[in-house]
Amino acid sequence: MEIKLVAFDLDGTLLDDNKEILASSMEAISDLHKKGIQTVLCTGRIFVDAAYIARQISDKMLVIACNGACAGRADSKELIKKYPIPYDILKQITDCCVRNGTLPVYYTQDTEYTSEACEAYMRAGGIQQKHRQVAPDKKHVELPDAAAFYEIMEQYDGQIYKALCFDVDETKKIRVEKELVESELCYVTGANVFGKKNLEMMRLGVDKGSTLRAVAAEMGIGPENIMVFGDSDNDIPMFDMAGYPIAMERCTEGIRSRAYAVTGSNNDGGIARAIRRYIG
């Protein structure tokens, strides 16, 4: 195999359960760079969080955030790819959440707009704020009600890249997912974050795989020369796209069934093990 680019999901993959990059992973990625192999972070996280983590590896590292909805270099606030959710689609997503008794979460490039429903979900899962506030310049705004979300939607039209749904009442989330999937309004996926599965919505045609394919093509790299690492269902599009998809040990069945190989977990050096075995 000739690998020219390696892409990493973050949570459950490159980050261990303490939300840190293992020393073995850092060393393996450094060796990739010495070989001239490109590396990319490809995550559902907000851009500023992903860029902050990427800078621990390299200031020049490319970051694909919000499940492919935006991308840029770790050392720049200028995005090279921008695929925000269109206003009319975002309104219908928000309407669906409100109709089912919950509220969404919005991601811009640097701000997370949440609700009490989201905060209650995080508290119920024992999720600590220190694990959520990664980048110092990330902004976190809790909105009081549905009206506030509609106001933010108006104010930041064209700047909201991803919507999410969290709720301690799983039935609400299930109803939202069913309605949105059946409507075909947007791309709907999920990811395991802090041991919980959330619901994530982007504009149609936008996912990790499509954006990774696009940025790789601009480097002259085809899918057959790409290796990707992931664990959750939002990684499926890049697993379907890449020539060498590597699943983490604790992955979903959808990921496992698509994998070229399965490596160890995010806590026991799975990233480094696979890189050493398949790339050297």
What's the length of the chain? 280
Question: Residue 166: what pLDDT?
Answer: 86
CA distances from 176 to 119, 143, 211 (A): 18, 20, 26
Give the strands of the sheet with 111-114, arranged side by side.
Answer: 139-142, 111-114, 104-107, 162-165, 196-202, 187-193
pTM above 0.85? yes
Q: Where are the alpha helices (DSSP H) in the chain?
A: 23-34, 47-55, 87-99, 116-124, 129-132, 146-155, 170-183, 208-218, 236-241, 253-256, 270-278
Question: Tokens for 29?
Answer: 């990625």
Question: Residue 205: what pLDDT?
Answer: 96
Q: How far apart are CA 271 and CA 280, in angstroms?
A: 12
Residue 163's DSSP bridge partners are: 106, 201
In angstroms, the first-to-last Cα distance of the chain is: 11
Question: Residue 192: what pLDDT?
Answer: 64
Question: Residue 196: what pLDDT?
Answer: 62
Give the residue ranges of the chain where pLDDT is below 50: 130
Question: Residue 131: what pLDDT?
Answer: 53
Walk me through the domains of the chain, giving residue ranges and CATH numbers.
5-83+206-278 (3.40.50.1000), 87-202 (3.30.1240.10)
Question: Residue 191: what pLDDT?
Answer: 73
Question: Tokens for 253?
Answer: 């069945």
Query: Contact, 261 vs 278, CB < 8 A?
Result: yes
- Max distance between CA atoms of the chain, in angstroms, equals 54
At residue 42, φ and ψ (nearest 5 deg) are: -135, 100
Q: How far apart are CA 102 and CA 100, in angstroms?
A: 6
Residue 41's DSSP bridge partners are: 8, 63
Buried b (16+ CB within 10 A) or exposed e, 34-48: eeebbbbbbbbbbbb
Question: Residue 96: what pLDDT?
Answer: 98
Question: Tokens for 162?
Answer: 């991803």
Query: Contact, 4 vs 226, CB < 8 A?
Result: yes
Query: Mapping DSSP to helix (H, G, I), strand (E, B) and coil, where does residue 31 land?
Result: helix
Question: Residue 75: what pLDDT?
Answer: 94
Question: Residue 149: what pLDDT?
Answer: 97
